[in-house]
Structure 1
Amino acid sequence: MSARTVFSPYSRLFAVPGSVAFSLAGWVGRLPAPMLGLGAVLLVSQETGSYGLAGAVSGALALSYGVAGPQWARAMDRRGQGPVLRLAMVVFALSGVAFVAAVVGGAPRWSWFVLAAAVGGSSPNIGSLVRARWAAVLDRAGRQTAFAFEAVADEVVFVVGPPLVTLLATLLAPPVGFLTGVVLGAVGGLWLAALRDTDPPPHPVAGPSTARWWAVLTPTLLVVTVTYLAVGTVFGAIDVVVAGFAEAEGAPALSGVALAVFAAGSLLAGLVYGLARLPGTLATRFVATAVAFGLAAQLLWGVGSLAVLVGVGFLAGLTIAPVLVSGTSLVESRTAPGLLTESLAWTISGLTLGVTVGSAVAGAAVDAWGAETAFAVPAVAAAFVALLGLGGAALVADRPAPAGLVDDRTTG
C-alpha cells in the first residue's frame, strides 16, 4: 500500500474549496495557545523570581479565555464568524501590548491580572471556529478525519510554540516571546475573518435564551467538558513544572524542547487516529482514550532528569490527541444545528479552565516542594481524567443524536 493511498483521506479534505486557506489561517491563529501561557510564566518569573505568581497570572489569562470563549462562539453562531472575530482581534492585540508594558514597567501587580484577563477574554477559540467550518462542508464520514487533522494541527502548534517562545524569551528578552504570540494570533484571526466564503451561515436566535442554554448543555457536553477540565489541569501544570524543572537542571532554554516532545507524541498519535477505522461507538472510544491518558501520565512520577522527561513526555503525548479527537467527535455527533461552535467552545473552555487550575497549583507546588516533586500535580490530575471518563460512561452511552443527525452507533 502506497503512502498516497494511506493518506488519501487527508488529501480529500483539502480538495474542498477554501479548506487550505481556512485551515492554515486557523493554525496561525492558534499559535498563541501555547505561547501566551508559557510566555506569561517566563515574563513574570523573570521580573519577580516567583513561579507561584507567574503561574497565577498565566492562570488568570487562561481562566478568562475559558469563560469568554463560549460567549464569543455564541455570538458567532448568531452573527457569523467574520465581524465578531475582527472586533475580538483588535481588543486582543491592544490588551496584549498593554499587559507586557505593565509587567516590564513595574505597574501594580493587580493590573497584571486585569490585563492578563483582558488578553484571554478577547481571544475566541480559533480551533472551534475551524472545526465548525469543517463540519459545515463535510459529511459525517469526513469529520473524524478532519477533527483528527485539526488535533494534529493543534499539536504542531504545541511543537512549534513552546520552543519558539522559550528561545525568544531567553535569548532575546522575555517580552519578545509573549508579544510574538500576540502578533501571530492577531494575524491568523484577522486572516480567518476575511475568508467569508467558508464562514458557516449564522443562526439567529428565535426563542428565549434559557431554552438555548438547555439545548447546549447536554449530558454528553457536560461529561466531555468536565473531563477536559482535568486534561487541561495536566497541561497547565506541565507548562509550569517543566519550566521550573529545566531551570533547576541548569538548562532553562530546554523547557520548550521538553514540552514540544509531549506535542510530538500527540501529533503522531493524531495522524494515526485520523486514518484508523476503530471499533465501537464514539462514546466507547472517548472513555477508552480517557483511561489511556490517565494511565500514561503516571509515568511522570518517575521523572528525575531531563533525559527521562523527554522519554516520558513522548510516551504520555501519544495519548493526548486520541482523547481530544474522540471527545470533540462525540460532542459534534450529538449537537443540534446552530449550536456547534458554542458547544465546541465549551469543551475548549473546560481545557482552559483546567489550565488555570493546573498553572496555579503547580506554581505553588514548585515554590513549596521543588520542581521534581511537583510532577505529582499533573500525575494526579491525569488520574482524575481516567476516573471522570469511567464515571461519565453511563451518561454518554447510547444517547440518540438530536433530530436530523445520525446516531454515532451507525458510524462505527
Structure 2
Amino acid sequence: MSAGTVFSPYTRLFAVPGAASFSLAGWVGRLPAPMLGLGAVLLVEQETGSYGLAGAVSGTLALSYGVAGPQWARAMDRRGQGPVLRVAMAAFLITGVAFVAAVVAGGPGWSWFLLAAAVGGSSPNIGSLVRARWSAVLDPAGRQTAFAFEAVADEVVFVIGPVLVTLLATLVAPPVGFLTGVVLGAVGGLWLSALRDTDPPGHPLRADTPTRRWAVLTPTLLVVVVTYLGVGTVFGAIDVVVVGFAEAEGAQALAGAVLAVFAGGSLVAGLAYGLVRLPGTLAARFVGTTVAFGLAAQLLWGVGSLPVLIGCGFLAGLTIAPVLVSGTSLVESRVAPGMLTESLAWTISGLTLGVTLGSALAGAAVDAWGAQAAFAVPAWAAAAAALLALVGSRAVRARPDTGVPGVVRVERPIDG
C-alpha cells in the first residue's frame, strides 16, 4: 500500500474549498497556547528568581483564558466568528504588550496578575473555532479524521512553540518570547476572521425562545471537562517542572526542546489515530484513552536526568492526542444545534483550568522540593484524570442528552 493511499483520508480533507486556509490560519492563531504560559514563566522568573510567583502568574493567565473561552465561543455561535474575533484580537494585542511592559518596568505585583488575567480573558480558543468549521462541512466519519488532524496541528504547535519561546527568551531577551506569541496569535486570529466563506452561520436566539444559560453543560460534556481538568493539570505542571529541571541540570535553553518531545510523541499518535477506524463507541474510546494516559504518565516517577526525561516524555506523549481526539469527538457527537463552538470551548476550558492548577502546584513544588521530586505533581494529576474518566464512564455511556428539549443525538460506533 502506497503512502498516498494510507494518507488519503487527510488528502480528502483539503479537497474541501477553503479548508487549507482556515486550518493554516487556525494553526498560526494557536501558537500562543504553548508560548504565553511558558513565556510568562520565563519572563517572571528572570525578573524575580521565583518559580512559585512565575507559575502563579502563568496560571492566572490560563485561568482567565479558560473562563473567558466559552463566553467568546457563545458569542460566536450567535453572531458568527468574524466580527467577534476582530474585537478579541485587538484587546489581545493591547493587553499582551501592557503585561510585558508592567513586568519589565517593575510595576506592582498586583498589576502583573491583573494584566495576565486580561491577556487570557481576551483570547478566544482558536482550536474550537477551527473544529467548528470542520464540523460544518464534513460528515461524521470525516470529522474524526479532521479532529485527529487538528490534534496533530496542536502538537506541531507544542513542538515548535516551546522551542521558539525558550530560545527567544534565553538567547535574545525574556520579553521577546512572550511578545512573539502575542503577535503570532493576533495574526492568526485576524486571518481567520477574514475567511468569511467558511465561517459557520450564527444562530441568533429567537425572541420567543426561552434562554437556558447552562443548557450546554450536559452530563457528557461535564465528564469530559472534569477529566480534562486533570489532563490540563499535567500540561501546566510539566511546563514549570521541566524548566526547573533543565535549569538544575545546567541546560535551561533545552527546556523547550524537552517539552517538544512530549508533543512529538503526541503528534505521531495523532496521525495514526486519524487513519484507523477503531471498533466500539466514542464513549468507550474516551475512557480507554484516558486510562492509557494516566498509566503512561507514571513513567515520570523514574526521571533522573535529561536523557531519561526525553525518553519518558516521548512515550507519555504517545497517549496525549488520542485522549484529546476521543473527548472532542464524543462531545461533538452529542451537541445541540447552535452550541457546537461553545461546547468545544468548554472542553478547552477544562484543560486550561487544569493548566492553571498545574502551574501553581508545580511552581510551589519546585521551590519546596526541588525539580526532580516535583515530577510527582504531573504523575498524580494524570492518575486523577484516569480515575475521573472511570467514575464518569456510566454517564458518558448513557443515552445522550443535548440539554435542549426534543433534541437528541444518538451516538453510533464509527467503524469506517
TM-score by length of 2: 0.97
Aligned to 1:221: 221
Deviation string 1:65-88 (CA, Å, 9 cap, x unpaired) is 000000000000000000000000
Q: After the TM superposition, which residues 1-400 of structure 1 pair with which residues of structure 2 at under 5 Å, given as runs?
A: 1-206=1-206, 211-400=211-400
CA shift in 2, pair 1:210/1:235, >3 Å? farther
SS in structure 1 of the partner of residue 204 of structure 2: coil
- Farther-moved stretch of structure 1 (391-400 vs 179-188): 391-400
1:209–1:371 Cα change, 3 Å: farther
Q: Tell me which amino acid in the other structure corresponds to 1:368.
A: A
Whether the 8 Å contact between 1:333 and 1:405 is mirrored in structure 2 is no
* Change in 2 beyond 3 A, CA 1:371/1:217: same
1:377 alignment partner AA: V
Q: Which amino acid aligns with 1:83?
A: P
Q: For 2:293 and 2:413, locate their aligned partners in 1 and report how far apart those are by CA, in whole Å.
A: 26
**For residue 35 of structure 1, what is the amino acid of its counterpart?**
M
- Superposed, which structure 2 residues align to 1:394-409 within 5 Å? 394-400=394-400, 402=402, 407-409=410-412
What amino acid is aligned across from residue 90 of structure 1 in structure 2?
Answer: A
Change (3 A) 1:21 1:235: same
Determine if contact 2:233/2:381 at 8 Å carries over to the other structure: yes
**Deviation per CA, 1:19-70, whole angstroms, max 9, x where unpaired?**
0000000000000000000000000000000000000000000000000000
Q: Deviations over 1:353-373 (max 9, x none)?
A: 000000000000000000000
Structure 1 position 319, deviation (Å): 0.2
Provide the rounded CA distance (Å) in 1 between the counterparts of 2:137 and 2:212.
Answer: 24
Matches of 1:128 and 1:10, distance apart in 2 = 19
Deviation at 1:110, TM superposition (A): 0.4
Distance 1:148 1:401, change over 3 A: farther
How many angstroms apart in 1 are the aligned matches of 2:214 and 2:373?
42
Contact 2:168 2:176 in 1 (8 A): yes
Residue 212 (structure 1) shift: 3.1
Q: Distance in 1 between matches of 2:341 and 2:208?
A: 19
Q: Residues 335 and 409 of structure 2 are in contact (CA less than 8 Å); yes or no, is this contact kept in structure 1? A: no
Q: Which one is further off, 367-376 or 396-405? A: 396-405
The 1:207–1:55 alpha-carbon spacing in structure 2 relative to 1, beyond 3 Å, is farther
1:408 to partner: Cα distance: 2.3
Query: C-alpha distance in 2, partners of 1:212/1:5?
Result: 46
- Paired amino acid for 2:161: G
Native 8 Å contact 2:218 2:401 kept in 1: no
Q: Identity percentage over the alignment?
A: 82
Partner of 1:241, secondary structure, is helix
In structure 2, C-alpha distance between the alignment counterparts of 1:315 and 1:36, rounded to whole Å: 25
Structure 1 window deviating more from structure 2 (209-218 vs 46-55): it is: 209-218
Native 8 Å contact 1:132 1:341 kept in 2: yes
Q: 1:266 to 1:133 in 2, by over 3 A?
A: same
Task: Name the SS of the counterpart of 1:132 in structure 2.
Answer: helix
Distance 1:405 1:139 in 2: 18
Partners of 2:207 and 2:310 in 1: how far apart? 52
Contact 1:333 1:401 in 2 (8 A): no
Aligned partners of 1:319 and 1:332: how far apart in 2? 21
Whole-Å Cα distance in 1 between the matches of residues 388 and 269 of structure 2? 22
Alignment length (residue pairs) = 412
SS of the equivalent of 1:216 reads coil
Taking a change above 3 Å as real, the CA distance of residues 393 and 121 of structure 1, as seen in their structure-2 partners, is same
Check whether the contact 2:282–2:413 (CA below 8 A) recurs between aligned residues: no
Q: Work out whether residues 34 and 161 of structure 1, in 8 Å CA contact, stay in contact via their aligned partners in 2.
A: yes
Q: Which runs of structure 1 show a deviation greater than 4 angstroms over 4 or more consecutive aligned residues? A: 207-211, 401-406
Alignment-derived partner of residue 414 in structure 2:
411
Out of 140-149 and 198-207, give the one that drifted further: 198-207
Quote the offset at 1:210 in angstroms.
7.5
Taking the aligned partners of 1:214 and 1:120, their CA distance within structure 2 comes to 22
What amino acid maps onto 2:414 in structure 1?
T
The structural deviation recorded for 1:205 is: 1.4
Deviations 1:289-313 (A, max 9, x none): 0000000000000000000000000
Q: Secondary structure at the match of 1:17?
A: coil
Deviation of 1:409 (Å): 2.0
| Aligned-pair CA distance for 1:406 | 5.3
User: 1:177-227 CA deviation, whole Å, 9 max, x = no partner?
Assistant: 000000000000000000000000000012689743343010000000000
Q: Structure 1 unaligned runs (5+)?
A: none
d(CA) in 2 for partners of 1:279 and 1:209?
A: 39
- Residues 280 and 413 of structure 2 are in contact (CA less than 8 Å); yes or no, is this contact kept in structure 1? no
What one-letter code is carried by the residue in structure 1 that aligns with 2:411? Answer: D
Letter in 2 for 1:267: L
Pairwise CA RMSD of aligned residues?
Answer: 1.3
Q: TM-score, normalised by structure 1?
A: 0.98
Distance 1:35 1:69 in 2: 17
Deviations 1:215-255 (A, max 9, x none): 30100000000000100000000000000000000000000
